[in-house]
Structure 1
Amino acid sequence: MATDLPLVFSITSGKGGVGKTNISVNLAYSLAQAGKRVLLLDADLGLANVDVILGLMPELNLFHLFHEDAKVTDIICDTPYGFKVLPASSGVSEMLALTTAQKLDLLEAMDGLEDSVDYMIVDTGAGINDNVVYFNLAAQERIVVLTPEPTSLTDAYALIKVMKLDHGIEHFKVVVNMVPDLASAKEVFTRLHRACDHFLSGVSLDLIGFLPKDPGVRKAVREQKPFCLVEPKGLACSAMKGLARTVQGWDIASNLDGNIKFFWKKLLFRS
């Protein structure tokens, strides 16, 4: 990267069940395998499952940061896969909607990590609730995950619409999951692109990759390991490595686009 600041990007979706967390985990793994320092933030605060997919049992999570004064450095846990995880809680109603003070507390807690991270991946929840919007605003880039299901497309459009009309966010990356080939991925992407182009003037979408259907993915989920570790020669892993190379070609945006960001103090000073 052209700067020593971390690149923070969210992986998000309008609909649940599109493979968002699995993509987050394997992208973290692939970037770590490329020698990058990666922190994966589980931002699905009320229904966290990064730890489940990885077979982790963290003692602390973000609940303890907000309610028991734990330090973020105490919460971050190592994985056997070369990257770190900042876990969240599951089934805790107090985490479903962060207060303004808690949002600022999280930003400040993260501020001391910028020198130890190259990439921070923010695995958001699904939908358009306040937490999802907040974490997408705090990221510098946003990857929207789609599948061929019609509900995935309509819900992705709804998320993009909220981000555009309510917060002025116009640029989104797109990854299409669970498709047989590139042609199918382009077909799904085109449907979303047409809707945005027709109804949301100014929105820019960029198809940055797709993940094919691969039985190795299901096998890895059962084993609670990254599929790029379980099936390193599989089709999904090959596609994921390509996505990781694409991400490594990104740079930090040169402006703050009017929205709060992780590591915002450093960004402010360089702007």
Structure 2
Amino acid sequence: MIENSMYDQASGLRRMTQLTSTKVITVTGGKGGVGKTNVTLNMAIAMARQGKRVMVLDADLGLANVDVMLGLRAVRNLSHVLAGVCDLKDIIVEGPYGVKIVPASSGTQTMAELTPAQHTGLIRAFSTLEDDIDVLLIDTAAGISDMVLSFSRAAQDVLVVVCDEPTSITDAYALIKILSREYDVQRFKIVANMVRSYREGRDLFAKLTRVSERFLRANLELVACIPLDDRVRQAVKRQKVVVEAFPRSPAALAFTSLSNKALSWPVPACPGGHVEFFVEKLLIRSSRQEVPLSES
């Protein structure tokens, strides 16, 4: 029923005259340990502190940790939604500054090995949500699994987090290559994380762009250089994010700057060929007028 409903809704997008400003941003990176979750949560809370309505989807379905990093207790998670135990709205927990968290399960192999049909069903489950959201941030798993690719394709903007390690650069390139060549995702925003200086961040970005420009048509943009800052580790030990625990620290200021920049990124006037599930739902819900099909 969810799939048929979403197909019907998507077909009606052409007739909608009013658009929402919801942003859908996927944070990914290819390699584990590059700080994707930290980037996601710091952006979320920095945005929420500005009064934005923010939701974070923990899309690391096998090794979830978003709720743990914030010291939250999730009674149910996405595994219960897929099992038909409850709806998506029933598992949402509230974090600092009203950030809504959609928790995933941890240590569950079956959640890490979903079929493509289950991926699609999970994405389309968002059509059941009634919350008005300004920004949806999706924190993906490491690697280039079907789920990572699905959520990267679903977003309006893909943030690729890299650090100055050969494996991080190699894995980030592999992710960009697959999304670019096989799924026609051509725009990527790069976050150089845990760098010792802005110059190191620029050099890291240059390493990635050299190989991308040679073999791909993808457009890469460096949007942030997050400094290596011990306050980040201290905040994690407190189960807080650095923008909340140490708002004047170098890393917190860089995350805040990234969040401000992300809020200025334009939202496409209509779905750009990807799933963009959440935007489709909000377009349909926020639009109340239709024009004849001959005018679309």
Q: Normalised by the shorter chain, which TM-score bucket?
A: over 0.9
Query: 1:15·1:126 contact (CA, 8 Å) conserved in 2?
Result: yes
User: Hey, what does 1:221 align to over in structure 2?
Assistant: 236
Query: What's the CA shift for 1:112?
Result: 4.0
Instruction: Name the CA distance, whole Å, in 2 between partners of 1:43 and 1:5.
Output: 23
Corresponding position of 1:197? 213
Match of residue 122, structure 1, among 138, 142, 149: 138
Deviation readout 1:126-178 (Å, 9 max, x if unpaired): 11111110110111110000101111001100000111111111110000001
The alpha-carbon deviation at position 115 of structure 1 amounts to 5.0
1:44-94 CA-to-partner distances (Å, cap 9, x unmatched) read: 000111112111110010000001331111111111332110000011111
Q: 2:69–2:240: 8 Å Cα contact kept in structure 1?
A: yes
Q: 1:209 aligns with which of 224, 228, 248?
A: 224
Determine if the alignment matches structure 1 residue 166 to structure 2 residue 182: yes
Instruction: Give the drift of 1:114.
Output: 6.3
Aligned residues: 269
Q: Which amino acid aligns with 1:213?
A: L
Give the aligned partner of residue 258 of structure 1: 273
Return the alpha-carbon distance in structure 2 between the equivalents of residues 69 and 105 of structure 1. 15
Counterpart in the other structure of 1:248: 263
Identity level (%): 43
Letter in 1 for 2:71: G
SS at match of 2:76: coil
Structure 1 residue 54 corresponds to structure 2 residue 61: no
Contact between 2:119 and 2:147, CA under 8 Å: does it hold in 1? no
Q: Distance in 1 between matches of 2:233 and 2:279?
A: 38
Please point out which of 106, 115, 124 is paired with 1:99: 115
Computed over aligned residues only, the root mean square deviation of the Cα atoms, in angstroms, reads 1.9
Deviations 1:94-120 (A, max 9, x none): 111323432333233212436510000
Q: Which has the larger radius of gyration?
A: 2
Determine the C-alpha separation between the residues in 1 that align with 2:187 and 2:247: 32
1:238 and 2:237 correspond:
no
Q: Structure 2: where are the runs of 5+ without partners? A: 1-17, 288-295
* TM superposition shift of 1:206: 0.6
Q: Gaps spanning 5+ residues in structure 1: where?
A: none
Q: What's the TM-score, normalizing by structure 1? A: 0.94
Match in the other structure for 2:157: 141
Q: For the residues of structure 1 that align with 2:49 and 2:211, how far apart are their CA atoms? A: 37
TM-score normalised by L of structure 2: 0.86
| Distance (whole Å) between structure 1 residues aligned to residue 68 and residue 92 of structure 2 | 15
Q: Deviations over 1:5-40 (max 9, x none)?
A: 421110001110001101111110000001000000
Name the SS for the 2:141 alignment partner.
Answer: strand
Counterpart of 1:73 (choices 83, 86, 89) is: 89
- Name the SS of the counterpart of 1:4 in structure 2: coil
C-alpha distance in 2, partners of 1:163/1:135?
A: 11
